[in-house]
Amino acid sequence: MSDSSERMNGRAWGVLMVLCGAIFLEGIDVAMLNVALPSIRADLGLSTGMLGGVVSAYVLGYGGFMLLGGRAADLLGHRRMFVLWLSVFLVFSGVGGFATGGWMLLAARFLTGVAAAFMAPAGLALVTSTFPEGPARTRALGVYAGTAAGGFSLGLVAGGMLASFGWRWVFFAPVIMAALILVAALALLPGAGAVRSPGGFDIAGALTVTGAMLLLAYGVVRLEDLAAGTGLDALRTALAVPVAAAVLGAVVIAFSLRSPAAPDDATPDWSPLAEPAETAA
């Protein structure tokens, strides 16, 4: 095995830090909001239900659109989708910081979650397609996973510090971070290397799966209604999860029956580990 497949040069580390920065941003964003909830409630006068909805909105957006985000990244390009949805994340995080009412904050958090759902699979795909299989990819995935876990933990501390200056900084700080990551992504991420999936984009299937994922996420975040036994709410929650699971199962079976096998020889056409041609011996 060549040394270039095991060694990560400066460009490789730069690419990895951009991708780690994005997954760190997602974790710290969620954690900081949780710490700032009491301040948000006091300032905007939100009810308990609305405050819970602010937290659930992100989960619904993230969980509901994750599969669609992965498919879109494969079809439209990993780098393109990563940069696009990082920009959307930046915008709606800022909208949350300027929120003057619960409805505005609710919408901002839902769309931020949707942006994260598209950005996360694109980022992970960039890690696996950029670094060749072997020690380099193993090392990159280890750093990436560790950064994702650390983002949530550090977010609790950072959220408490920022909330002391005002809860809006919990939204403005991710805007600054996202802007820095975006500039670095445009400079460092390869313009090529996205692995295209065979076939087109199944609109009906995408909408069905996304709807089922939204229903599943709704059932999960509303489990307290089922535990409390609050009539109609409990019934909706009790039905949401099994119905969503049944729909997803039917879609998976239908897709498996009619989808051709994906090629197993797709390889990235760019790697930061490769030596430039003009400098090769």
Non-local CB neighbours of 55 within 8 Å, separated by 6+ positions: 33, 34, 37, 109
**Average pLDDT for 156-174:** 88
46-67 tens-digit pLDDT:
887 788 888 888 888 888 788 8
Question: Which of 77-81, 121-125, 266-270 comes out lowest in average pLDDT?
Answer: 266-270
Alpha carbon distance 161, 175 (integer Å): 17
- Which residues does 175 contact at the CB level (< 8 Å), separation at least 6? 90, 93, 94, 97
Q: Please name the amino acid found at residue 120.
A: A
Q: Does position 43 have pLDDT exceeding 80, yes or no?
A: yes
2 DSSP assignment: -
Pairwise CA distance, residues 238 & 74, whole Å: 34
Three-state SS annotation for 119-169 = HHHHHHHHHHHHCCCCHHHHHHHHHHHHHHHHHHHHHHHHHHHHHCCCCCH
Higher pLDDT, 219 or 143: 143
* 97 alpha-carbon distance from chain centroid: 20
Report residue 269's pLDDT band, with 50, 70 and 90 as the boundaries: very low
Q: Is the dihedral of CA 232, 237, 241, 247 positive or negative?
A: positive
pLDDT reported for residue 256 = 62
State the amino acid at position 124 in one-letter form. L
Tell me the residue type at 274.
Answer: A
The SS3 assignment for 249 reads helix
Token pair of 190 as six digits: 């390869």
Residues 6 or more apart in contact with residue 20 via CB below 8 angstroms: 143, 144, 147
Whole-prediction pTM value? 0.77
Q: How far apart are CA 100 and CA 78, in angstroms?
A: 35
